[in-house]
Chains A and B, each alone.
Chain A
Amino acid sequence: MNWLLIFAIMTGALTLANAQQPIPVVKPATDGKVWGALVYATNNAKGFVGSNEQAPADFADIPQRLEKVFPYQRFEILGQHLQDVFREYESWVVPTKDLFLKVDSKGPAEGGGMNLHLQFWRDQQVLVKTDAVLKAGSPLFIGGPKWREGQLVFVLVLQK
């Protein structure tokens, strides 16, 4: 057999095999993972919007913690978002379109946790920019605008 023909057949077979493989998805490097939620705090549960959202088991005590800070007794999770914190790119935590968070990693914090730059947005308006050290087990509560008979609170937790 002609060696040139053999080479051509092998090259063609290899090319075909490569073409059939899925294009590898490159996942950006991450520094950690955060859970963010928008919570409606009120004293009147009749005003709940009827959301069925439940906090993950790791953060199930969030309503009890909120009660110790905010002057409300009932808390309804309106939306929630589990988000990788990208090392090189911005990350968005969007439990609702109305209030959401932009998160930029500033690297691991000394003694554990993460250094973060946060921007808290309401629609097209940034309400606050902050640098924070977020530690696992120590949530950040952002007391936001009043709504109906209560207040909206953004909760951000670093996942262990």
Chain B
Amino acid sequence: MKTPSEDHDLIRWLDGEMTDAERARFSTRLAADPDLKAEVEMMQRMSSDLRAHLPAEMTVPYGDFFNSQIQVRLAQEEPLIPEARASWLDWLRLPTLITATAAVAIAGFMIMQKGPAAGDSVVLSIYVPNASVHARTFHSDEAQATVLMLDGVEAIPADRKIVGYYIERTETDQEVAMTTLYGKSGEVVLVVSKDVRNQPRLLSATPRG
């Protein structure tokens, strides 16, 4: 098990903060300690991955609000960890903590943008399978609505006719994983089932439009 000072040396070495003499001593240790070498390689890989996948700069929407929330949280936790402050600062440099901070920040932006009121709908998480599509969410006070904007979705060809339905009632039969959708007059409009890949199959009975 490594001592805190060894952790500290490792971080300083990764950050390029050592003097020439210290660097030489650490390199000697590195050559003699396979575990230490493996840990260094792992941290270098992690750091490299982070640099490759995280943008160098990110616009912080409503940054004042987010920063104030961090200040409040720090003020709340400060009395609880007085002796841990030095090591906490060291850990702050670690890529893992940076990743966690970034993840919390992104989640925080999504949840706390404009600090939605109790009666507002909220988007809690977003996953976009297609890498060329970018999703962003915000709340519009003016429209009193929550917006999930998908940018980069391939346009629907202009000559494609979009047929709309009026669906008033559905019946679901879970034994055969099928849902029947009924229109205004009780007529069957659509049947929704799934294929072997668990993707929806829509069978239209009475197309309109």
Residue from B120, B143, B158, B200 in contact with A92 in the complex, judged by beta carbons closer than 8 Å: B200
- Which A residues touch B130, using CB under 8 A? 125, 127
Inter-chain contacts of A102 with B (CB < 8 A): 200
Asked if A53 and B166 sit within 8 Å, CB to CB, the answer is yes
Q: A49-B162, A51-B209, A113-B121 are in contact. Are A145 and B140 (CB under 8 A)?
A: no
Residue in B closest to A115 when the chains form the complex, CB atoms: B124
Question: A78: shortest Cβ distance to chain B, in Å?
Answer: 4
**Which of B20-28, B86-94, B96-104, B148-156 lines the interface with chain A?**
B148-156
Which residues does chain A contribute within 8 Å of B153, judged by CB atoms?
Answer: 122, 127, 144-146
A→B interface (CB under 8 Å)? 28, 38, 40, 49-51, 53, 65-66, 68-69, 77-84, 86, 89, 91-92, 94-98, 100, 102, 111-113, 120-122, 124-135, 137-148, 152, 158
Q: Are A135 and B121 in contact (CB under 8 A)?
A: yes
In Å, the complex CA distance between A52 and B123 comes to 31
Asked if A144 meets B119 with Cβ closer than 8 Å, knowing A69-B143, A92-B170, the reply is no
A95/B133 in contact, CB under 8 A = no
- In the bound assembly, the distance between CA atoms of A77 and B165 in angstroms comes to 10
- Chain A residue at minimal CB-CB distance from B139: A138
Within 8 A of A (CB), among B121-143: 121-130, 133, 135, 140, 142-143
In chain A, what residue has the closest Cβ to B121?
A: A138
**Residues A65 and B126 in contact in the complex (CB < 8 Å), given A79-B166, A82-B168, A127-B133:** no
Whether B124 lies near A94 (C-beta < 8 A) is no
In the complex, what distance in Å separates the CA atom of A158 from the CA atom of B145? 12
CB-nearest residue of chain A relative to B126? A130
- Say which size band chain B's interface belongs to: 35 or more
The 5 tightest CB contacts between A and B, nearest first, are A79-B164, A78-B164, A81-B167, A68-B143, A146-B155
B146 interface residue, CB < 8 Å from A?
A: yes
B105 to chain A, nearest CB (A): 18
Q: How far is it, in angstroms, between the C-alpha of A98 and the C-alpha of B155 when the chains are bound?
A: 12
| B185 touches A (CB below 8 Å) | no
Q: By the criterion CB–CB under 8 Å, are B150 and A94 in contact?
A: no
Q: Are A69 and B123 in contact (CB under 8 A)?
A: no
Task: Please give, as numbers and ranges, the residues of chain A lying within 8 Å of B3 by CB-CB distance.
Answer: none
**Whole-angstrom CA separation of A137 from B116 in the bound complex:** 14
Nearest residue, chain B, Cβ from A80: B166
Known: A100-B202, A139-B121. A28 touches B145 (CB 8 A): no
B127 with A140: CB separation less than 8 A = no
Contact of A51 among B147, B164, B174, B200 (CB under 8 A): B164
Say whether B148 contacts A143, CB under 8 Å.
yes
Q: Is the CB of B128 within 8 A of A68?
A: no
- CB contacts (< 8 Å) of B160 on chain A: these are 98, 147
| Chain A residues in 8 Å Cβ range of B146 | 132, 138-141
